[in-house]
């Protein structure tokens, strides 16, 4: 099975970082989640089969209480250099 990978970068409402990080771990396809410093508040790593599944993952993130916006970085497979 072909696996697509992406990092989902999240901006949150102040004070909601840990709640978002914990809730994100419950989203199917999300493998790891970290609260971070800098431009974003939470960074999640996800694996999925296709872009439709990624859309569902992002929609789940956007429905989490305290999420203001997301930005997604899809991993470029090494064979596409």
Written as one string, the DSSP assignment of the chain is ---EEEEEEEEE-TT-HHHHHHHHTTSTTEEEEEE-SSS-SEEEEEEESSHHHHHHHHHHHHHSTTEEEEEEEEPPPGGG-
Provide the domain limits for residue 38.
Answer: 8-67
Convert the pLDDT of each residue in 10-68 to its tens digit. 999 999 999 999 999 999 999 999 999 999 999 999 999 999 999 999 999 999 999 99
| 81 inside domain | no
Q: What pLDDT, on the 0 to 100 scale, is given for residue 1?
A: 63
Q: Model-level pTM?
A: 0.92
User: Is 15 a domain residue?
Assistant: yes
Give the CATH number, domain containing residue 23.
Answer: 3.30.70.920
Does a structural domain hold residue 73? no
């Amino acid at each position: 099975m072909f696996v697509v990978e992406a990092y989902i970068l999240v901006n949150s409402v102040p004070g909601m970082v840990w709640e978002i990080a914990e809730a994100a771990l419950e989203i199917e396809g999300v493998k790891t989640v970290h609260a971070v410093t800098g431009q974003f508040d939470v960074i999640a790593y996800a694996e999925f089969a296709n872009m439709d599944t990624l859309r569902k993952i992002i929609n789940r993130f956007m429905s989490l209480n305290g999420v203001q916006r997301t930005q997604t970085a899809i991993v470029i497979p090494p064979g596409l250099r």
